Structure 1
Amino acid sequence: MPAERTNPAPRVLGRMRLASQGLLGDGFPGVPEAVRWMTAMQAQDLGSALWAVGQRVPGTAASDVRAALDAGTVVRSWPMRGTLHLLAPEDLRWILGITSDRLMNSTAGRHRELNITPDDISHCRDIAFKTAEVLKAEGAPGASREQLFQAFEEAGQITKAQRGIHLLGSLCQRAWLVQGPMAGSNGKVGVQQLFVPFGEWIPNSRELGREEGIAELLFRYVLSHGPATIKDFSWWSQVPLTEARAALKEVQDRLVEMQFGGTAYWLSPDTAAMLDDGVPGSRSLLALPGFDEFLLGYQDRSLVLAPEHAELVVPGKNGVFKRIMVSGGEVVGTWARTVSGKTIGVAPEPFAGWLGPAAERSFQAQGRAYLKFMAG
């Protein structure tokens, strides 16, 4: 029996996570397939999200991910933790049904400070729908944030001091609006999206009750993120631990439990089977984006990132994740995009202060792939 089966090292579990997330081997056949498998991918920073998908779908370009957003085969919204994620369109409504109440409760105090009432939110919904209808008649695919804010202001709804973004977020949390196609500007590729009525952009949604939905969310999280703990899932989804543990009882017969360091980790049978033959990827080196699910998607990141290096990835614990280099399942450094005149490049920032020749070649290959992807 391989030693990995009886006494796996943390980096082995890290490689298993790489495999679960489609970061080893052939990845996924297309952008929608990758996003659907991951269930929800952090996408607050759009450029990072594009590359996160690109690393899981070999041979694609950033334009392919933008095209998926334009076509509605992938959507970007605020399903959990108050941050933007990429999701399959049919999943957004039922996930919001699980997560939105808790998020709205957490923002209630801020809404009182901003003098936002339920009637204000309903008023803004009606304004947004009317604005979208007018723009649609003029041939526009959706309304920009600025257009909606202007319409709100004209109707007496103040948008300054973050009031506007809270109103807009509330409409999305209630599945009245959703971000739709990308908003270009003067022929240039934009980073904003247009807003459209939810039902028009996503006509077909799955309907799951709360208990059934939490069980499915947990099951899919473990398939795509395992090995992971129930606390990892609870943090990631913001589902209370009591409900998460109840959901685990419903799906644990389809999963594998593995003890590591006195803690129970859950993973798919396919991922667990890798331990019998040796987990691949021991010589892999990946240049992943900031905010990638490989690191961000867990409450406890110490399996793949040594605690003494954590502030090198998230300086000052400010919530902004730098791009990471992952070698053999372990975060070994960060990397940066460089600009010198008209030349764009990449530069490694290894924790050890240097990369060996093989690792340097692998990083440079990753850098070329990144630059080609973002230019495409």
Structure 2
Amino acid sequence: MTYQEISHHRLVSQKLLEANANSPQEIVTHLGAMQAQDYSMAKWAIGSRCDATEAAIEEAINSAQIIRTHILRPTWHFVSADDIYWMLDVSAPQVKRFTASAGKKYGYDTKKLNQANSKIEKLLAGNNHLTRDEIMQELGIKKTSSADFLSAAIMMNAELDGLVCNGRMKGKQITYALLEERVSKPKSKLTREEGIAKLALRYLESHGPATLLDFSWWSGFPPTTCKNIFNAIELQLNSIEINGQIYWIKTDSSVKNNFRESVHFLPAFDEILISYKTREASILLEHQSRAFTNNGIFKPIILENSKVIGTWKRTIKKDYAKIETDFFNETETHKKAILFEGIRAFENYLGTKIVIE
């Protein structure tokens, strides 16, 4: 198997290659967790994998079919309501080390964070959805640059404790609500080992072929933990070796050669790049600095036949959306016209005219 084949199979496993009838929640369930700090672009990460419009995806989030919260790593992710509790049980303890450290910088130890949780619970009880600024005002924390970091740590801690999650959007503002008022708590729990194994199998089904270090990066668990889990589920996995590197897939995953031409305009922070420790299968090394930075900022990307060939950005106008492109190599006009057909799905998703410049 070659890197080209690896990248193509990832299009299949990530549900990017074939049109499908999955709902937004089913897409998120399949992928396990989808990075979502850029809220607008993160919705397109879902939309690029199904036929749903932006409005339909927004409704799935507002109605708590899809939860937006901090999980896996100290950043925002979309998670299906069906997965939120077991995934929090698995990953929250490791991410809470980050919030504990951040809180201490501003005089908030575990006791004070727990006290903040108690106050937040009372504020949000009865399906009261409030913005972070509204919550901080009630907690007596003034809006300053340093308090901004403190408020983020307080709310992230509350998320990781399973107390809060995203509420309904208030205009363009994100709100918080009590998780248990949005999603019923399950009666049974997984053990830590069962939870990590479930997470690993979900990742390899939706992101494979992938390496052990890819899963370690995506999940936030150290390589030694991941190795033990891979050993425990080895009978459910197949492996492929390329240049001394082992790539894993689930045994029931198809790796037959079903290549076909494809073009995709994908959002910033899309799983097709960000969910892997190294990205040589999808983008040439000399192009990587133009697609993402060393400090973790990922741009919207253009894929041709599963390879990143450029970046793009959108600007929303009153009656249309303007699309600007930056191809890594010189591209002839007739070739661009063919590539631009890949943006039509985005036009349908937005429900507005697109102008390409």
Q: TM-score, normalised by structure 1?
A: 0.87
Amino acid at match of 2:22: P
What residue is the counterpart of 1:164 in the other structure? 151
Pairwise CA distance, 1:341 = 8.2
**Would the aligned equivalents of 2:69 and 2:78 in 1 still touch at CA under 8 Å?**
yes
* Distance in 1, Cα, partners of 2:84 & 2:338: 37
- Structure 1 88/355 Cα, relative in aligned 2: closer, same or farther at 3 Å? farther
**Would the aligned equivalents of 2:165 and 2:179 in 1 still touch at CA under 8 Å?**
yes
2:85 pairs with 80, 89, 93, which one? 93
Pairwise CA distance, 1:309 = 0.7
Secondary structure, in 3 states, of the residue corresponding to 1:207?
coil
Amino acid at match of 1:25: E
1:363 pairs with 336, 339, 344, which one? 339
Which structure has more helix as a fraction of its residues?
1
Task: Say whether residues 1:307 and 2:285 are aligned partners.
Answer: yes
* Distance in 1, Cα, partners of 2:255 & 2:151: 50
**Would the aligned equivalents of 1:16 and 1:271 in 2 still touch at CA under 8 Å?**
no
**Would the aligned equivalents of 1:51 and 1:374 in 2 still touch at CA under 8 Å?**
no
Task: Say whether residues 1:63 and 2:55 are aligned partners.
Answer: yes
5+ residue gaps, structure 1, are 1-7, 185-189
Moved more, 98-107 or 286-295: 98-107
Task: Say whether residues 1:373 and 2:349 are aligned partners.
Answer: yes
Amino acid at match of 1:212: E
**Would the aligned equivalents of 2:102 and 2:150 in 1 still touch at CA under 8 Å?**
no
RMSD of Structure 2 on Structure 1 (CA): 2.2
**Would the aligned equivalents of 1:183 and 1:194 in 2 still touch at CA under 8 Å?**
yes
1:353 pairs with 303, 307, 330, which one? 330
What residue is the counterpart of 1:196 in the other structure? 177
- Structure 1 209/28 Cα, relative in aligned 2: closer, same or farther at 3 Å? farther
1:231 pairs with 200, 208, 213, which one? 213
Secondary structure, in 3 states, of the residue corresponding to 1:90?
coil
- Structure 1 77/161 Cα, relative in aligned 2: closer, same or farther at 3 Å? closer
Pairwise CA distance, 1:279 = 2.7
**Would the aligned equivalents of 1:22 and 1:28 in 2 still touch at CA under 8 Å?**
no
* Distance in 1, Cα, partners of 2:330 & 2:128: 49
Task: Say whether residues 1:72 and 2:64 are aligned partners.
Answer: yes
5+ residue gaps, structure 2, are 353-357
What residue is the counterpart of 2:136 in the other structure? 149
**Would the aligned equivalents of 1:19 and 1:271 in 2 still touch at CA under 8 Å?**
no
Amino acid at match of 1:92: I
Amino acid at match of 1:84: W
Amino acid at match of 1:337: R
What residue is the counterpart of 1:25 in the other structure? 18
Residues 312-368 of structure 1 deviation map (CA, whole Å, 9 limit, x = unaligned): 0124x23211111111111111112246786532132111121563x5234322323
- Structure 1 243/28 Cα, relative in aligned 2: closer, same or farther at 3 Å? farther
- Structure 1 251/28 Cα, relative in aligned 2: closer, same or farther at 3 Å? farther
* Distance in 1, Cα, partners of 2:141 & 2:215: 43
What residue is the counterpart of 2:123 in the other structure? 131
Pairwise CA distance, 1:159 = 7.9
* Distance in 2, Cα, partners of 1:253 & 1:163: 45
Residues 172-215 of structure 1 deviation map (CA, whole Å, 9 limit, x = unaligned): 1111111122222xxxxx2x332111211111346211101011
* Distance in 2, Cα, partners of 1:245 & 1:78: 25
Pairwise CA distance, 1:108 = 3.4
Pairwise CA distance, 1:229 = 0.4
Task: Say whether residues 1:279 and 2:272 are aligned partners.
Answer: no
Identity %: 26
- Structure 1 222/352 Cα, relative in aligned 2: closer, same or farther at 3 Å? same
**Would the aligned equivalents of 2:265 and 2:343 in 1 still touch at CA under 8 Å?**
yes
What residue is the counterpart of 1:324 in the other structure? 301
- Structure 1 341/375 Cα, relative in aligned 2: closer, same or farther at 3 Å? closer
* Distance in 1, Cα, partners of 2:323 & 2:80: 31
Residues 249-275 of structure 1 deviation map (CA, whole Å, 9 limit, x = unaligned): 22221222111111110113454441x
- Structure 1 154/292 Cα, relative in aligned 2: closer, same or farther at 3 Å? closer
**Would the aligned equivalents of 1:334 and 1:350 in 2 still touch at CA under 8 Å?**
yes
Task: Say whether residues 1:46 and 2:33 are aligned partners.
Answer: no
- Structure 1 225/360 Cα, relative in aligned 2: closer, same or farther at 3 Å? same
Residues 73-93 of structure 1 deviation map (CA, whole Å, 9 limit, x = unaligned): 110111122111111113122
Question: How many residue pairs were aligned?
Answer: 349
* Distance in 2, Cα, partners of 1:204 & 1:259: 41
Amino acid at match of 1:200: E
* Distance in 2, Cα, partners of 1:108 & 1:88: 26
